Amino acid sequence: DQTLSFSLQYQKSGYAAYRATAGFLSMNGREIISPSAGTRDANAFFITGDIVFTPRFRVLHPFVAGGVGFYDVRLTDSRDSRNDVEIGINWGVGLGVQLLKWFALHGELAYHYVTGNISNPIQTITIGARFDF
């Protein structure tokens, strides 16, 4: 399974922020349908909006995030292919490590609960960097 995403975050106060994320996730062989149909693959383009709550310590920035999103999901097996737009909610926990005034490392574990014919939750792990302007 793979996820590629890009986020923009606006720090509203020292303890809360708004975040918008756009991304693509791919899940191969996520669930077994039947012996003849094989396994089902799922691909989704998603856009989410979250509220992020974080205490701001000097170097470490733990946070909790939650929000809603839209998921353009394509389900494929050996017999059929379907494309649907689903609504979902997500929540996650993470940690930012401030290395410089304008640069931090970022890690997050998030769960996405999506309506439709996909097994829930979809777990994503994000590891990356953050630039503060």
**What confidence score (pLDDT) does residue 70 get?**
96
Over residues 56-71, the pLDDT tens digits come to: 788 998 999 999 999 9
Tens digits of residue pLDDT in 82-130? 889 999 999 999 999 999 989 999 999 999 999 987 778 888 999 999 8
Percent of the chain with pLDDT strictly greater than 90: 49
- What is the mean predicted confidence (pLDDT) over 39-61? 89
Q: Which of 5, 129, 108 is nearest to 63 (CA)?
A: 108
Distances in whole angstroms, Cα of residue 120 to Cα of each of 12, 44, 61, 65, 98: 31, 14, 28, 18, 33
Tell me the C-alpha distance between 41 and 30, whole Å: 6
9-30 burial, b at 16+ Cβ within 10 Å, e below that, comes to beeeeeeebebebebebebeee
Average pLDDT over residues 13-22: 91
Q: What pLDDT, on the 0 to 100 scale, is given for residue 93?
A: 97
Residue 77 pLDDT grade (very low, low, confident, very high; cuts 50, 70, 90): confident
Q: What is the DSSP string of 16-31?
A: EEEEEEEEEEEEEEEE
Q: State both tokens at 29.
A: 């062989």
Pairing of strands 38-53, 16-34: antiparallel
d(CA 130, CA 132): 6
User: Does residue 37 have a pLDDT over 90?
Assistant: no
